[in-house]
Amino acid sequence: VLYLAVTLFTLGLIGLLTRRNLIFTLMSVEIMLNASGLAFVAGSYQWGQPDGQVMFIFILAMAAAEVSVGLALLLQFHRREPTLDSDTASEMRG
Amino acid sequence: MLIAFYIAAAVAVLATIVAITRHHAVHALLYLIVSLLAIAIVFYVVGAPFLAALELIIYAGAIMVLFLFVIMMLNLGEHATEVEAGWLQPAVWAWPSALATVLIVELIYVVLHTGRPAGAMHVVTPKEIGISLFGPYAIGVELTSLLLMSGLVGAYHLGRRAYREEERYGINTDGRRVVSGSDIVHAGSDRASHAA
């Protein structure tokens, strides 16, 4: 299970590093959060304790908050510039 | 039971690989949902049925719908209709549905053969999670509620301020909204030229 978590995390990281579209960036962050939650559940499975699953619930709530704020930022960015390329964001000042 | 885990893991990895290499955001979203379904089955197999349900409801249900709404809000009028015509070709949805079919066959197999998620040494029930959540982790619950509240307020604030900044800087999106008027269906259709 842990290998699967590591693989998914790596895939999310690759997606984060290679894609320039902001929506794909957010999706990759979601994949990585999910993979870390999977690692917690793997630990919970290993020792038969519910703690890891509690941690996964926290990760779930955090991912929900993160993605709502991220998408709101993305909408605002899109209103300002009609593109979703994260390279253009580096030219924003103030 | 081990074979079920490996199949679900393979589907998850495949769907994720395809998801991060798609060019169209909605296609990537479809594959990502399949990946989340596969991970939910992995949870079910390793003895966390409650988390499998949560994964489905919150991730595949709520968060992905949020993504879909944003993609639809950003969607580019005339370009979208072309894309929608493309969706009707079977080649686009054949692979996600094939992967999802593998998953549902596997789920039926697992449920029929055991009646409960066996193979795990210890199935953690929702009751245990609840006791642990409101026992030693009560402070974490409070902090999470705080985080969700701040996330809500932050998202609302960002969504509100976008309109005011447009007025302040007089960015031409204002003009576009006036042009499109009450024609909500075709609002923003002229953005396609900017996106190109």
Q: Other CB atoms closer than 10 Å to residue B35's CB: what's the count?
A: 29
Residue B184 has pLDDT above 70, yes or no: no
Is ipTM > 0.90 here?
no
Q: Other CB atoms closer than 10 Å to residue A3's CB: what's the count?
A: 9
Residue B192 has pLDDT above 70, yes or no: no
Q: Residue B184: phi, psi to the nearest 5? A: -65, -30
To test the contact with chain B by mutation, choose from A9, A54, A73 the residue with the greatest count of B C-beta atoms within 10 A, namely A54
Per-residue 3-state assignment (H helix, E strand, C coil) for chain A = CHHHHHHHHHHHHHHHHHCCEHHHHHHHHHHHHHHHHHHHHHHHHHHCCCHHHHHHHHHHHHHHHHHHHHHHHHHHHHHHCCCCECCHHHHCCC
Q: Copy the structure tokens of residue B166.
A: 């447009």
Sign, CA torsion A12/A40/B110/B64: negative
pLDDT tens-digit series, residues B103-120: 778 777 777 776 554 555
Residue B8 has pLDDT above 60, yes or no: yes
Distance in Å, alpha carbon of B89 to nearest chain A alpha carbon: 24
Stretch 6-45 of chain A: residues touching chain B, C-beta under 8 Å = 7-8, 11-12, 14-15, 18-19, 21, 23-24, 26-28, 30-31, 34, 38, 41-42, 44-45
> Which residues in chain A are closer than 8 Å to B16, comparing Cβ atoms?
8, 11-12, 31
Segment B45-73 mean pLDDT: 84
Q: Is B31 helix (H, G, I), strand (E, B) or coil?
A: helix
pLDDT at residue B112, rounded to an integer = 72
pLDDT tens-digit series, residues A17-55: 777 777 788 888 888 888 888 888 888 887 877 788 888
Highest mean pLDDT among A8-12, B13-17, B184-188: B13-17
Cβ contact, residue pair B5, A57, below 8 Å: no
More confident call, B70 vs A65: A65
**B9, B54, B173: residue with CB nearest A4:** B9
B182 DSSP assignment: T
More confident call, B183 vs B133: B133
**A15, A56, A64: residue with CB nearest B62:** A64
Burial of A62 (0-12, 13-18, 19+ CB in 10 A): middle
The three-point CA angle B21-B43-B66 to 5° equals 50
Long-range residue pairs from B169-177, CB within 8 A, at least 24 positions apart, any chain: B171/A79, B171/A80, B173/A79
Residue B187 has pLDDT above 50, yes or no: no
Report d(CA A3, CA B172) in Å as an integer. Answer: 50
Enter the pTM of the model. 0.72
Q: Copy the structure tokens of residue B103.
A: 């998953």
More confident call, B81 vs A54: A54
In percent, how much of chain A has pLDDT > 70? Answer: 84
Q: pLDDT category, B42, cuts 50, 70, 90?
A: confident
B192 DSSP assignment: H
Report d(CA A71, CA B65) in Å as an integer. Answer: 12
Kind and range of the H or E run holding B196: none
Cβ contact, residue pair A71, B50, below 8 Å: no
Q: pLDDT category, A92, cuts 50, 70, 90?
A: low
Segment B5-19 mean pLDDT: 83
Residue B78 has pLDDT above 60, yes or no: no
In percent, how much of chain B has pLDDT > 90? Answer: 0
